[in-house]
């Protein structure tokens, strides 16, 4: 099969998480707080799907994020594909059926995406103290929110698999 049906569900869950993140950010517009919760979007597609389905899900999720967030176009698509490929190659080392490893991966990916977005701002922004204060508050509040959102999101994705009677086990993993 060209596309695993789980990839469609994972893309829909990614779109929901991204929409909710943007909704919360628009509600927080009066405050100097910005939530950046892109880390969980890549973890389960890279851990659960075969390479074709993972690539399609990650590519379209990256395009969706690139279209909505400020930054150079293609930044998040390339970042999603790069980090997803890293997780995909090392996925035998992670326990995908529990939340501990996916949550740790989500925090690492989220920090990586914030760093990439901050570096893409360029030299004029780097000299400003206000820029680094905003980056620090974004990291702090995003990772605090990620402590609550990531377990919910991963359980939501697994619940979607069970609801649609799809395989809830990752593919291509060695049997212990």
Q: Residues 71-115: pLDDT tens digits?
A: 888 999 999 999 999 998 888 888 877 888 999 999 999 999 999
Q: What is the pLDDT of residues 48-63, one digit of tens each?
A: 888 899 999 999 999 9
Is 131 among the domain residues? yes
Of 41, 9, 37, the residue nearest 168 (C-alpha): 9
Q: How far apart are CA 90 and CA 112, in angstroms?
A: 17
Is 85 among the domain residues? yes
Is 63 among the domain residues? yes
Q: What is the pLDDT of residues 7-31, one digit of tens each?
A: 999 999 999 999 999 999 999 999 9
* pLDDT value of residue 70: 84
Place of tokens 């649609």: 164
When pLDDT is cut at 50, 70 and 90, the band that residue 152 belongs to is very high
Q: What residues have CB less than 8 Å from 47, skipping those under 6 apart? A: 87, 88, 91, 94, 96, 102, 170
Q: How many domains does the chain have?
A: 1
Of 93, 132, 75, 86, the residue nearest 109 (C-alpha): 86
**What contacts 24+ positions apart, CB below 8 Å, involve 13-16?**
13/153, 13/156, 13/157, 13/160, 14/41, 14/57, 14/61, 14/64, 15/61, 15/64
Is 168 among the domain residues? no
Q: What residues have CB less than 8 Å from 91, skipping those under 6 apart? A: 46, 47, 170, 173
Is 81 among the domain residues? yes
pLDDT(165) > 60? yes
Q: How far apart are CA 102 and CA 151, in angstroms?
A: 9
What is the span of the domain harbouring residue 39? 5-163
* pLDDT value of residue 51: 87
Is 15 among the domain residues? yes
Is 171 among the domain residues? no
* pLDDT value of residue 171: 67
Q: How far apart are CA 145 and CA 98, in angstroms?
A: 20
Question: What does pTM read for this prediction?
Answer: 0.90
């Amino acid at each position: 099969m060209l596309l695993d049906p789980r990839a469609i569900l994972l893309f829909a869950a990614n779109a929901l998480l991204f929409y909710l993140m943007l909704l919360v950010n628009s509600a927080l517009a009066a405050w100097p707080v910005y939530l950046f919760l892109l880390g969980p979007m890549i973890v389960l597609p890279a851990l659960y799907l075969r390479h074709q389905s993972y690539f399609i899900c990650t590519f379209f999720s990256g395009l969706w994020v690139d279209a909505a967030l400020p930054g150079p176009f293609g930044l998040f698509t390339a970042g999603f594909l790069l980090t997803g490929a890293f997780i995909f190659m090392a996925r035998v080392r992670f326990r995908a059926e529990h939340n501990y490893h996916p949550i740790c991966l989500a925090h690492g990916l989220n920090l990586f995406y914030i760093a990439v977005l901050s570096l893409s701002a360029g030299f004029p922004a780097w000299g400003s103290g206000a820029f680094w204060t905003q980056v620090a508050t974004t990291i702090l509040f995003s990772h605090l929110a990620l402590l609550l959102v990531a377990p919910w999101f991963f359980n939501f994705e697994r619940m979607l698999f069970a609801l649609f009677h799809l395989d809830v086990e990752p593919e291509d993993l060695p049997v212990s």
